[in-house]
Amino acid sequence: MRILLVEDEKKLVELVARALRAERYAVDVAEDGPGGWQLAQGYAYDLVILDLMLPGLPGGELLRRIRGRNHQVPILILTARDATLDKVANFEAGADDYLTKPFALAELLMRVKALLRRGPVARASVLRVADLEVDRLTQQVRRAGRRIELTPKEYALLEYLVTNPGRVFSRAMIIEHVWDQSFEGLTNIVDVYVRHLRGKIDDPFPVKLIRTVRGVGYGLDEGAA
Ligand code: CA
């Protein structure tokens, strides 16, 4: 098992690297953000241990880059901060676990073992239907390689449909998942948003993906006529 450790506190690097090597892991160390990114691009790691406060490139940015390139490698964040907001932001950006400094080496090793045991996570950040790509991490949408700008609600609607290609969703199901419980408008809001979405992801392309099922609702699949 090969681990990438990105941390700029020399003492901590020494301690952690020694402890990991004693457990017979191979450990590569980068002491700044750009060095970490270079290693992450060059080798297939089984685990990344990443400090958030790094010179050269913030750890959060490095996390997003590594996750954007490799959806499966487990990432353990080390940080002095323990603000809940940071944690949420970093989990959303693809961190798997979080350890606040100072920590006991035994706890770090325990978490490392747990993450390695779990192995690569099938995160499937990018959902694909035909030539449509929806990246749930960056919330970017592309069709035939072209970037498509959606409003937050249009995106949420599309993500819901793309999650289960071929399935038909009633307007009530769509409202329940895409709007929230406080929504008390008319179900034709769904028709309105489907029309907006079609205008962006279907109308400019020869093959239509969003399907209307009369009397039932909507679905999305590979090439409806
Ligand atoms: Ca640091």
Q: Select from 118, 141, 169 the last residue of a domain.
A: 118
Q: For residue 6, what are its two tokens?
A: 């990105």
- Tell me, what CATH number does 56's domain have? 3.40.50.2300
pLDDT digits (tens, 9 = 90+) for 198-210: 999 999 999 999 9
Tell how far the Cα of 33 is from the centroid of ligand 1, in angstroms. 10
166 and 139 fall within a common domain: yes
Tell how far the Cα of 214 is from the centroid of ligand 1, in angstroms. 58
- Tell me, what CATH number does 162's domain have? 1.10.10.10
Tell how far the Cα of 98 is from the centroid of ligand 1, in angstroms. 14
Is 128 exposed, middle or buried (CB count within 10 Å of its CB: 0-12, 13-18, 19+)?
middle
Distance between CA 135 and CA 154 in Å, rounded? 14
Identity of residue 104: A
Tell how far the Cα of 155 is from the centroid of ligand 1, in angstroms. 36
147 and 215 fall within a common domain: yes
Q: What is the pLDDT of residue 123?
A: 58
Distance between CA 93 and CA 100 in Å, rounded? 17
153 and 132 fall within a common domain: yes
Distance between CA 128 and CA 38 in Å, rounded? 29
3-class state of residue 104 by DSSP: coil
Mean pLDDT, the chain, whole residue set: 87
Tell how far the Cα of 58 is from the centroid of ligand 1, in angstroms. 9
| In the chain, alpha helices (H) | 10-22, 33-42, 59-69, 84-92, 105-118, 152-163, 171-178, 188-201
Tell how far the Cα of 21 is from the centroid of ligand 1, in angstroms. 21
**Domain ranges, residue 31:** 2-118
Q: How far is CA 119 from the centre of its chain?
A: 17
197 and 89 fall within a common domain: no
Tell how far the Cα of 105 is from the centroid of ligand 1, in angstroms. 17
The number of domains in the chain is 2
**Low-confidence residues in the chain, pLDDT < 70:** 81-88, 92, 119-124, 180-187, 224-225
Q: For residue 92, what are its two tokens?
A: 């959303």
Distance between CA 141 and CA 220 in Å, rounded? 15
67 and 136 fall within a common domain: no
| Protein residues within 5 Å, CB atom, of ion ligand 1 | 8, 51, 53
Distance between CA 87 and CA 110 in Å, rounded? 20
Q: Select from 51, 83, 118 the last residue of a domain.
A: 118
pLDDT digits (tens, 9 = 90+) for 145-196: 999 999 988 998 998 898 878 889 999 888 877 876 566 666 688 999 999 9
